[in-house]
Amino acid sequence: MNRQTVLVACGAGIATSTVVLDHLEELIERENIKVELVQCKIAEVASLQSNADLIVASTILPTKYSIPALSATAYISGIGIEELDKEILSYLKK
């Protein structure tokens, strides 16, 4: 299986994406799957999507993308974390 790439984005690519990145690192380690996580600004996602498999963003998605894009607000609010984990894993375990 090829290593998948997940873009982890927020408005500035620093604050909330770091929270999401930390959670995803724990999740992929716990599930023992190989995933490359790329932290970025939401404005960079369009140019990076061709080399990625999934977008997980903690900000509003400004457009449609050619790959699946999920909102990571559950990781920020603490509500719905398990459901979001399952949804992300459904993409990564294909």
For the chain, the domains span 4-92
The active-site residue, picked from 8, 10, 52, 56, is 10
Q: What is 4-92's CATH number? A: 3.40.50.2300
Instruction: Please state, in angstroms and rounded to a whole number, the distance separating the CA atoms of residues 38 and 17.
Output: 10
What pTM was estimated for this model as a whole? 0.94
Q: What is the pLDDT of residue 2?
A: 73
Q: What is the pLDDT of residue 76?
A: 94
Instruction: Please state, in angstroms and rounded to a whole number, the distance separating the CA atoms of residues 32 and 73.
Output: 24
Residue 40 appears among annotated catalytic residues = no
Predicted confidence (pLDDT) at residue 1 exceeds the cutoff of 70: no
Q: What is the pLDDT of residue 74?
A: 97
Write the Ramachandran bin of 55: left for phi over 0, alpha for psi from -120 to 50, otherwise beta.
Answer: beta
Instruction: Please state, in angstroms and rounded to a whole number, the distance separating the CA atoms of residues 77 and 2.
Output: 32
The arrangement of strands across the sheet holding 54-57 comes to: 35-41, 4-10, 54-57, 69-71
- Mean pLDDT, the chain, whole residue set: 95
Instruction: Please state, in angstroms and rounded to a whole number, the distance separating the CA atoms of residues 87 and 63.
Output: 20
User: What's the pLDDT tens digit per position in 53-88?
Assistant: 999 999 999 899 999 999 999 999 999 999 999 999
Q: What is the pLDDT of residue 28?
A: 96
